[in-house]
Amino acid sequence: MLQYPYYNPGNLERVFDKSGKELMFDGQKQSLEGSQFRCFINIECGYRALIKQILFMYARGLKTIAEIIGTFAPIEDNNDKEQYIVNVSGWMNISRDESLVITKELLINFAASISRQENGQLANLSEIEAGFNLL
C-alpha cells in the first residue's frame, strides 16, 4: 500500500501553468519541497486523479493502451515504454493496439495495471473503485 505523504499510485508528476502556478487535482495537497510528484490527501484521491488522467488522454484522441502508455510513461522519464505497454496489455488482457471502449471496469483495471507497473505490487481494487466513485 502506498503511504503518506504521496498517495500517488500513478506517480503523476506536478504540472504548472505559464505563470508557474501548480495545476491541482481535487484532493491534491501541497507537494513536498523539491518533489516532482503530486501528493494526495488519501489513496482514493490519488486513484481518482489517475483515472481522470486516463480519461483526459482518451478525450485527446489516444484510444489504445499503446497510445496512452506511450504518452503517460515517456522514454524521457527513464521508462521502458515498450515493456510498460507489454505489461499493462497483458495484465488487462487487451491487445496493445485495440481501440478501447471506456467503461467503469476498464478504467479500474487500467488504473490497477498502471499502479502495479509504477509500484511493483498489486493494487487494492476497492481503493480504485472508491477513487472512481469520486469522479
Section 22-49 average pLDDT: 92
- Three-class DSSP category at 105: helix
Average pLDDT, the chain: 94
Give the tens place of pLDDT for each residue, 85-111. Answer: 999 999 999 999 999 999 999 999 999
Q: In the prediction, which pLDDT does 31 show?
A: 82
Residues 60-87 as b or e (16 or more Cβ within 10 Å = b) = eebbbbbbbbbebbeeeeebebeebbeb
Q: What percent of the chain has pLDDT over 90?
A: 87
| Beta pairing partners, 37 | 13
Q: In the prediction, which pLDDT does 4 show?
A: 56
DSSP state of 28: E
Amino acid identity at 19: S
Q: Kindly tell me if the per-residue pLDDT of 67 is higher than 80.
A: yes
Q: What is the dihedral of CA 22, 23, 24, 30, to 10 degrees?
A: -10
Binning pLDDT at 50, 70 and 90, where does residue 33 land? Answer: confident
Q: In the prediction, which pLDDT does 74 show?
A: 87
CA distance 39 to 28: 6
Nearest to 41 by CA among 25, 52, 55: 25
Q: Kindly tell me if the per-residue pLDDT of 1 is higher than 60.
A: no
Binning pLDDT at 50, 70 and 90, where does residue 3 land? Answer: low
Section 18-27 average pLDDT: 94
